Copies of this chain bind each other. A is one copy, B any other.
Amino acid sequence: MGGAGRRPGPSRTRQAILDVARDEFARRGFDAATVRSIAGRAGVDPAMIAHHFGSKQQLFLAVLQLPFDPAVEIAQVLDGPREELAERLLGRLLDVWDSPSGAGAVAAVRTAVQRDDTAGLVRDLALSRVLAPLMETMAGTPQQRLWRANLVASQLVGLIFARYVVRLEPLASAAHADVVAALAPTVERYLSGRLAGGPPDTNC
């Protein structure tokens, strides 16, 4: 990785931190894994992690190799009238995945779903960085809101895989407005509509 004239030390340290962090996040989850525990196992000072990656959140994103921060995107989505939340959510997803960052994001999810541990990292990321903020906009018990968030995720994940990974046509080439118009009623129903059934204690 290091270019000409650069000592191999820093990039080896960086890679060692990434390897340990991937394992720690996969074993313990995002919340339980700490910068201190990762630094300890990698044999570096915690300040070295801050130097190379910044925060634990940024280290997590580096492990997943995602080119954008979903938490930043979702914060922007939540900033607006509630009645257009589903449209903004879908529109933002399309904007980000169709941007120059999109190719890197496709590569990241392709790699991440390959193994149980990295798929678990995606699950952690989705829960803590996308679904948790989304749940704060919902009514109902925590169980009901988590069930709704799962349903929203099922449609968004399907859009990502059908449009960007499998590239099903005409969905892969459809204009953003057409995709949003077709899927927004689904996302809105999952966010706040009437749901028949659901796991125990989640009937909404």
A residues near B, CB below 8 A?
Answer: 110-111, 113-114, 119-120, 122-123, 126-127, 143, 146-147, 150-151, 153-159, 161-163, 165-171, 173-175, 177-178, 180-183, 185-186, 189-190, 195-199, 202
Contacts and interface: CB of A to CB of B under 8 A. Distances in A.
A150 to B, nearest CB: 4
Nearest to A198: B178
A183 B154 contact: yes
Contact of A147 (B122, B167, B170): B170
A22 to B, nearest CB: 16
A146 to B, nearest CB: 7
Nearest to A187: B186
Contact of A181 (B166, B177, B197): B197
B165 A181 contact: no
A123 B158 contact: no
Given A154-B155, A189-B186, A167 B197 contact: no
A162 to B, nearest CB: 4
Given A119-B167, A126-B168, A150-B170, A181 B196 contact: yes
B150 A168 contact: yes
15 contacts: A127-B168, A150-B162, A150-B170, A151-B171, A153-B158, A153-B171, A154-B168, A157-B158, A157-B166, A161-B161, A173-B199, A180-B197, A181-B196, A182-B197, A186-B189
